Structures are given as structure tokens and as C-alpha cells.
């Protein structure tokens, strides 16, 4: 079997750098995500230290990292509790869409983009990064906070919206017909709803299937089922992240507890590569011309996400500090925004660098803001914190 010396060397260097940056972040009591993103920017195409041999591995590992992040998040909750919270937060989806999509659409119109470009930019500003939010909540030990179910409900509802939005955007970008767009939406949304219903009704059987006293076999079973479900979700234009999250929700009790333990090292490894991949996808040379527009858009939509999270948390009776934590947790944009630009293609030369700069700004700033906002002291307004 041929072994690529360049691949091994580049992966080794990446892991050494990430280990060093992670150590620095821990000493500063910060999330390592911003440092990983900056490392990816320095290692990407067009940067001063490109690593061409590791590019394919980084792209594949990033997908696995996103899946594992959401699987681990789902393992923290039960499907019954989450389903009840999801129903309560349907109004949050409307607020989210009304506050966060229009800024992107307005900027698209001001830039002279066509209908497809305007829709794409609106989608990019609407959707938060499930992967970054999941890791930040874990790093800051907020999974047990009162506001966290509201944050997760918003994320899953956004992924539902993407299940409807992405087929429409793909058809419009390719010049397809309206009935093709409608068919794509029906298939994607129907598949996601069916998956939720099946998980809610028969999910307890999955726990019995994957359970095993041997840790290695338990890890292989959980990971295998998760990747299969994630692939099926992606195939019907839903989110692989939602599929992985559903698998996590269906595992409860001792199986979930042991599952968190065996998945944790894999999650940490591949999640780190996921954040590097976001940085790698950005060409540093393309950023300066679009930075003013990206910064303005980031400030506006960062604020609107804070309002969104605050509203969602208020539905759960969370106090002022918790509402602020919920809002800042949703600031980061990431993987879906980049996917949206990829669907639109090369016909919009301004869109790709603008979204890349926008995503990078909020992916770096979001974890910092979330970390430090938790240190602020606000006078409670009488509600539960």
C-alpha cells in the first residue's frame, strides 16, 4: 500500500499547530474555534502556507466533524423533551426569518445582484452555524443551561427552512422550472418530518440495537448508524447535521451516557478539522475589497441574531442574562452559508468573496462574544435565569 509522505507530513503539522493553539486557548479560558479558523485561513489556497496534499482529507474530515458535533449534542437530550420544545418555538422561526434574511436581501439588491443572488445572500445571513454553536455550547459548559433548548430549537428550525430553501435555490440557479422546485421542497421537507416522526415513535429500538458492553463495538455501531442516517438526510437535500442530531436524540439512558464517552475523542479531532476547513475555504486575497460590506452586514445580522435568540429564550421563561446568552450563541455563521454560495455557482463574482468574508468575521467573532457576554452581570427581570 502506497503511503503519501506529503499527506502524513501535512496532517501532522496541522495537528501540531491545532494542539498548540488549543493549549493557548485553554490557558486564556477561551474557545479554540477562532484560533482554528485563523489557522485554516493561513493554510488555505492563496495563503502564505498552503498544504495541497491534505486538502481532500480536510474536506472529508470536516463533514464528519459536523456530523459528530451534532450527534454529541443530540446525546445530551431526549427526543420527547426536544419535540415539545420544538413545537413551542415555531414562532421563533418566524422571528428568525423576519429579522435575519432581509438584511442579506437588501445588500444583494444594493449590489445589483439578480434574483438568485439576492436569495442566496438572504439565506447566507439567515442561517447560523450548527457546528460552531454546538462546539461553543460544549466548550463553555452551557448544555445544561435553561436557554440551551431554545437555541437548539432555533437551529433545527433553521435546518428545516434550509430543507425547503436549498432545493428551490438549486433549481433556480440551474434554470429549472417551478414544478421542479416544488417537488424538491416536498421531498426534502417530507423526509425530515418523516425522520422526526419515526425517531419519536420507534427511536427507542435504536438504543437496543446499538447497545453493547464493549466500548469499541458501541462506538462503531453508533458511528455507523449516524453516518448512514446523515447520508440519507443529505441525499434528500435535508441537513446531514439534522440526521446526526436525530440519532443522538433517540439514544437515551446508559447508552447515551456511554455513547458520549466513546464519541468524544473522535468528535474533538474531526471538529477541529471542521473549523480549519471553514478557514481554508476562504481566499485571503479576496477579502480586502469586500470587507466594508461584510463588516456592516455582520454587525447588523449579529444584532438581529441576538434579538432572535432572546425572543426564543423568552418563550421558555428565561431571564435577561439567559436571553442574552442565547442570542449571542446564535451569532456565528458557517457551513450552510458556504454551501449556499456553492449552489449559486460562478455567475455571481461578488457574492462568493462577500459571503466568505462575512462568514469568517462572524465565525471568529461569535465565539468571542458568546464567551465574554456570559461574564456580564445584568440585573434579573424577575424571570428564571
Return the domain boundaries, the chain.
5-373
pLDDT for residue 147 is more than 80: yes
Q: Does the domain made of 5-373 have the CATH classification 1.20.1530.20? A: yes
Mean pLDDT of 160-178: 78
Given a cut of 50, whether residue 326 has pLDDT beyond it is: yes
What is the per-residue pLDDT for 385?
39
All three cell numbers of 261? 464517552
Please say if the pLDDT value at position 329 is more than 90: yes
- Please give the model's pTM, rounded to 2 decimal places: 0.80
* Percent over 90 (pLDDT), the chain: 37
**Across 21-30, 53-62, 372-381, least confident range:** 372-381
First and final CA of the chain: distance in angstroms? 57
- Among 142, 120, 134, which Cα is nearest to 339's? 120
pLDDT at residue 179, rounded to an integer: 75
pLDDT tens-digit map of 184-233:
777 777 777 777 777 777 766 777 788 888 999 999 999 999 999 889 88
Residue 3: predicted pLDDT: 65
| Alpha-carbon gap, residue 209 to 222, rounded angstroms | 9
pLDDT in tens, 75-114: 887 777 777 777 889 999 999 999 999 999 999 999 898 8
Amino acid at each position: 500500500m502506497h503511503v503519501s509522505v506529503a499527506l502524513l507530513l501535512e496532517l501532522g503539522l496541522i495537528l501540531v499547530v491545532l494542539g498548540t493553539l488549543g493549549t493557548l486557548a485553554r490557558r486564556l479560558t477561551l474557545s479554540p474555534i477562532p484560533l482554528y479558523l485563523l489557522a485554516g485561513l493561513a493554510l488555505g489556497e492563496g495563503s502564505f502556507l498552503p498544504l495541497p496534499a491534505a486538502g481532500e482529507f480536510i474536506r472529508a474530515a470536516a463533514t464528519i466533524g459536523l456530523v459528530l458535533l451534532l450527534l454529541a449534542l443530540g446525546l445530551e437530550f431526549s427526543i420527547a423533551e426536544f419535540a415539545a420544545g420544538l413545537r413551542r418555538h415555531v414562532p421563533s422561526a418566524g422571528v428568525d426569518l423576519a429579522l435575519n434574511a432581509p438584511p442579506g436581501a437588501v445588500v444583494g439588491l444594493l449590489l445589483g445582484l439578480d434574483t438568485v443572488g439576492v436569495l442566496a445572500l438572504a439565506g447566507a445571513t439567515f442561517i447560523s452555524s450548527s457546528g460552531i454553536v454546538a462546539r461553543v455550547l460544549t466548550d463553555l459548559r452551557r448544555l445544561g443551561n435553561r436557554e440551551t433548548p431554545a437555541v437548539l430549537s432555533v437551529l433545527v428550525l433553521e435546518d428545516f427552512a434550509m430543507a425547503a430553501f436549498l432545493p428551490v435555490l438549486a433549481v433556480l440557479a440551474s434554470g429549472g422550472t417551478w414544478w421542479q422546485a416544488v417537488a424538491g421542497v416536498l421531498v426534502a421537507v417530507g423526509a425530515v418530518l418523516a425522520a422526526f416522526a419515526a425517531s419519536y415513535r420507534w427511536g427507542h429500538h435504536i438504543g437496543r440495537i446499538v447497545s453493547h458492553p464493549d466500548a469499541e463495538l458501541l462506538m462503531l455501531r453508533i458511528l455507523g448508524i449516524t453516518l448512514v442516517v446523515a447520508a440519507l438526510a443529505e441525499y434528500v437535500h435535508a441537513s446531514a447535521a439534522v440526521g446526526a442530531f436525530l440519532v443522538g436524540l433517540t439514544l437515551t439512558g446508559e447508552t447515551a451516557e456511554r455513547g458520549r464517552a466513546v464519541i468524544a475523542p473522535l468528535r474533538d479531532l474531526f471538529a477541529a478539522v471542521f473549523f480549519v476547513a471553514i478557514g481554508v475555504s476562504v481566499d485571503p486575497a479576496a477579502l480586502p475589497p469586500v470587507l466594508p460590506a461584510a463588516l456592516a452586514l455582520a454587525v447588523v445580522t449579529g444584532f438581529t441574531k441576538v434579538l432572535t435568540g432572546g425572543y426564543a429564550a423568552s418563550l421558555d421563561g428565561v431571564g435577561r442574562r439567559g436571553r442574552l446568552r442565547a442570542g449571542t450563541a446564535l451569532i456565528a455563521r458557517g457551513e450552510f452559508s458556504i454551501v449556499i454560495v456553492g449552489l449559486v455557482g460562478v455567475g455571481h463574482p461578488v457574492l462568493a468573496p462577500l459571503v466568505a468574508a462575512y462568514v469568517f468575521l462572524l465565525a471568529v467573532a461569535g465565539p468571542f462574544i458568546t464567551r465574554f457576554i456570559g461574564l456580564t452581570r445584568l440585573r434579573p427581570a424577575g424571570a428564571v435565569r
